[in-house]
Amino acid sequence: MTDSTSAASAVWQVTELVSDGVGALAKRATENGRISVAALDEMQVVAYDLAHASAAVEGAKVMLSYAEHGEDEERLSYAFIADAISDIAARLIGRDREWQVDPATLATSHEFVTKYRSPEVLSAIADGLVRTGTGAPHLSDEFDMVRDTFHRFASDKIRPVAEHIHRKNEDIPEEIITGLAELGGFGLSVPEEYGGFAAGGDSDYLAMCVATEELSWGSLGAGGALITRPEILTRAIVKGGTEDQKRSWLPQIASGERVVGVMVTEPDFGSDVAGIKVSATPTDGGWLLNGVKTWCTFAGRADTLMVLARTDPDRSLGHRGLSVFVVDKEPAPGHHFSFADGRGGKMEGRAIDTLGYRGMHSFEVAFESWFVPAENLIGLDDGIGKGFYLQMEGFENGRLQTASRAIGVMQAAFEAGFNYAKERTVFGEPVFDYQLTKVKLARMAVLICAGRQFSYDVASKMARGEGALEASMVKAYVCRAAEWVTREAMQIHGGMGYAEEFPVSRYFVDARVLSIFEGADETLCLRVIARRLADQAITS
């Protein structure tokens, strides 16, 4: 049996096993023909494991196709598939009763997994890293140009100041914001008819992935997240805004004239968006905002805020009582701001100190009778009660973007670890020459390559109006991988990895946030991935 046949067989077997596990979970969580969230919550551990296992399976399927590009791609792909199966087996062993599957199903994949997890094969991959790196992207010349453009910007403008911003918790320099605007970075999702670059095809989502990865390679906090917030607001406006709103706001977002912050989370309500309490009550000529938002990234520098608020006081309506507003404010440097609206209303924000992801600053913001004109409700009267759906329009793509951010951070960490291993000598030998180092670096490259290809595949699906579930999967899987990759890159540096003289420590602390924002890993797995998989299982 050839390796390609063995790989395909292994992927098929693990797909069937995980599918059977999801089917068993769905059956136990079904009440009156529907999935019960309460019943699913009684099986959180197995639901969480199956969510991550399903994400690994989707990534393995993508890598089967990637392997068709050549021998180097085969080795990277098969090593990932073996790694994914090993991870699934580790989750399964000892919990096969909860999964209600037979672990012996994976036995026929043992020889394939053994070969491609062997130190010999992984060391050989490491020896070829100078040639292969983390794998050829295999995109068109158009996207190579996008990658080169944003990589050059990240190298020339972001990296030289990234460490200073992180160590001193400084603001992002204005030249980065204006420079990114000149590149068109804020208009990647804005339709062409409104001054942006989105043409409505695969290229829109792929360009966003490529640009986000390169900016994150420069710095997560000072580059990678800059285009996420305008992306979220743009998609909400495109989906639910009036024509006048689109023509007024979208060109300004695309040009960088409007710098966007997003306000969804509240102190008592994070992923449970339906429970938010910040209220918008009607008043003459508009609405009055009252309440507190938290984790409002870039709220200080932003002059435009996307605010999700409760417009219907009946809290039993949950997410159906929410609407989205575009709120204007003055940009404010530093870690605190306070404004009055001239009508008795106030808005005050304080930055929340964080261990990484610095530069954009995440704020807690309090509104006290802050006036918002009626025309700033997205969709006007037609937008009342549709806020949850409009913000989700951007958040699903935000999860894909977060995966790309993770890939950029991993790439930076991999390069740092690889270069240090080549240069540093320990016990008379380069660190790179030790088998354990080679295996670590090979696995880093494999995970980065798979994450990148997985994100491209999801981008293509989302361009066709599909892929919402897969966007959550790639976010969950890749962000967990980023924690391991950055940790091992830091470990390769030894004591210097713990020193603030090397940026690898920044990659490590930055990576930690990726499994928290844009949907905390546990909530994403339990309430989105596992639930949707269970829904599919009972309807198929």
518 catalytic, yes or no? yes
Residues making up the chain, counted from first to last: 540
CB atoms within 10 A of CB 428: 6
Give the type of residue at 358. Answer: R
- Let me know: does 278 contact 292? Beta carbons within 8 Å: yes
- Contact 462/205 with Cβ under 8 angstroms? yes
What's the token pair of residue 197?
Answer: 């670059």
DSSP annotation string for 340-368: E-SSS-EEEEEEEP-SSS-SS-EEEEEEE
Question: Phi/psi at 43 (nearest 5 deg)?
Answer: -130, 45
Name the one residue in this structure whose structure tokens are 């992923």: 271
**Tokens (6 digits) for 125:** 């991959």
Amino acid at 158: I
Give the phi and the psi of residue 161 in degrees, each rounded to 5. Answer: -115, -5
Cβ atoms within 10 Å, residue 382: 12
Among candidate residues 397, 403, 530, the one with its CA nearest the CA of residue 478: 403
Helix (H) or strand (E) holding 430: strand 429-430
Q: Which of 401, 417, 362 is nearest to 514 (CA)?
A: 401
Q: Exposed, middle or buried by CB within 10 Å (0-12, 13-18, 19+), for 540?
A: exposed
Interatomic CA distance for residues 533 and 47, integer angstroms: 10
Buried/exposed code over 248-282 (b: 16+ C-beta within 10 A; e: otherwise)? bbbbbbbbbebbbbbbbbbeebbbebeebebbbee
Whose structure tokens read 């740092």? Answer: 416
Residue with tokens 């020459």: 433
If DSSP codes are grouped into helix, strand and coil, which group holds residue 134?
coil
Q: Two tokens at 405? A: 């951010």
Q: Which of 174, 182, 518, 522 is catalytic?
A: 518
Q: Is 498 exposed, middle or buried (0-12, 13-18, 19+ CB in 10 A)?
A: middle
Q: Active-site positions? A: 518
